[in-house]
Amino acid sequence: MKNLILASGSPRRKELLSLYTTDFTICVSDFDESGVTAPTPAQLVEKLARGKCLAVAKDHPGAVVLGCDTVVDVGGEVFGKPHSVEDAKRMLRALSGAAHEVHTGVCVSDGVRTESFVDSCRVTFFPISEGEIDAYTATKEPYDKAGAYAIQGRAALWLDRLEGDYYTIMGLPVSRTARLLSRF
């Protein structure tokens, strides 16, 4: 494969991409997400992944660039990364005892061809007590994660069930991404 670039600073995406190959570099995208809108959370996450990918691809001709984005979808409302302790608590209360969707958009471009997809996973949490929410939001874990939780972290204690790819929740659906990258 040509030079592979991961357009993300996420340590989870780096770890998951390493299951496919360790021969890649990281170049965090400077794509401005603030003005991006879409009719659905799934369409939004695909546009964000594409924007991040293409922002890096334009500066690295000849490279294969992988861009990703993940959002939590609660009845059509997008939960991104929390902005504050209160925002994280609001999100966790909404997720408590309920089901939600996690969408991860993946985009790959070599500067000539660009392909993308969205993978979605349905997640159901057991009820989360206020004490658990207070304890969790007092840690660093929820603040750089969509929906204010890390499924591979303490949020595993709340997981009732999931339908779909576990790695989608972590931010990189590994098997589908590997298949897409193999076409490049």
Amino acid at 106: V
Phi/psi at 138 (nearest 5 deg)?
-85, -10
Angle at 61 between CA 59 and CA 64, to 5 degrees: 100
* Per-residue tokens: 95: 């997720």
* Per-residue tokens: 39: 């009719």
Ranges assigned E (strand) in 11-138: 25-26, 64-74, 77-79, 99-109, 114-125
Q: Report, as residue numbers or ranges, the catalytic residues.
A: 69
